[in-house]
């Protein structure tokens, strides 16, 4: 992955974070909040999720490399996590999110695990390993802004697409996430195979 792959990393991380798919959840759990508190929940959840992903972008690779985890290991583990979580949310029946009257939902479940979950954290580690921590951080910041903008337009998107339209778009993005996860596993296995063949 080179500097030219930076725009693609933004698109992929946006798909993995999936703010569009989280619109029904966001609207459901903030339905009893007034507009001011709803905006506060939105901003706080994105800040917390972005902060968590930023920490992994800057320090996650060094921490894991201390334990001897290599690039191929990153890719296979990330691909398995991304595929598993994407399939889970793709195949599970729709469940109405619990309604909350407090801003604590900005932390759980909005920031963690829906915006900064295992799949997005894993992909940030991949970006950090391949592009470097600072481009990974830039990717996280850009995707955080796009996520904030997407969720801020929840009412507008719901009126335009309707609930079924949002659900359909969510499923499409989850299918893309599954494909990305499978690709990461394949590339990781190929790296191991190439390394084994080269040094056999």
Report d(CA 85, CA 17) in Å as an integer. Answer: 11
Average confidence score pLDDT of the chain = 87
pLDDT given at position 127: 93
Report d(CA 161, CA 72) in Å as an integer. Answer: 40
Which range of residues forms the domain containing residue 186? 3-199
1: which 2 tokens? 């992955």
Q: What is this structure's pTM?
A: 0.85
81: which 2 tokens? 């996590």
User: Cα-flanking dihedrals φ and ψ of residue 42, to 5°?
Assistant: -60, -55
Asked if the model's pLDDT at residue 200 lies above 70, the reply is: no
Count structural domains, the chain: 1
**More confident call, 33 vs 134:** 134
CATH code: domain of residue 23? 1.20.1250
Asked if the model's pLDDT at residue 184 lies above 70, the reply is: yes
Report d(CA 116, CA 52) in Å as an integer. Answer: 7
């Amino acid at each position: 992955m080179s500097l030219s792959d930076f725009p693609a990393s933004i698109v992929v991380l946006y798909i993995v974070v999936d703010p569009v798919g989280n619109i029904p959840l966001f609207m459901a759990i903030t339905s009893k909040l007034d507009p001011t508190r709803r905006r506060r929940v939105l901003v706080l959840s994105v800040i917390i999720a972005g902060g968590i992903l930023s920490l992994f972008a800057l320090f996650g690779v060094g921490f894991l490399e201390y334990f001897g985890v290599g690039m191929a290991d990153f890719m296979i583990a990330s691909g398995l996590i991304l595929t598993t979580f994407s399939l889970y949310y793709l195949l599970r029946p729709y469940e109405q999110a619990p309604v909350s009257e407090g801003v604590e939902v900005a932390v759980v479940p909005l920031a963690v695990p829906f915006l900064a979950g295992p799949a997005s954290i894993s992909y940030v580690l991949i970006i950090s390993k391949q592009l470097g921590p600072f481009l990974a951080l830039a990717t996280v910041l850009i995707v955080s802004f796009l996520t904030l903008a997407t969720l801020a337009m929840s009412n507008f998107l719901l009126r335009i697409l309707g609930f079924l339209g949002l659900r359909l778009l969510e499923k499409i993005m989850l299918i893309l996430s599954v494909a990305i996860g499978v690709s990461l596993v394949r590339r990781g296995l190929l790296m191991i195979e190439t390394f084994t063949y080269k040094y056999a």
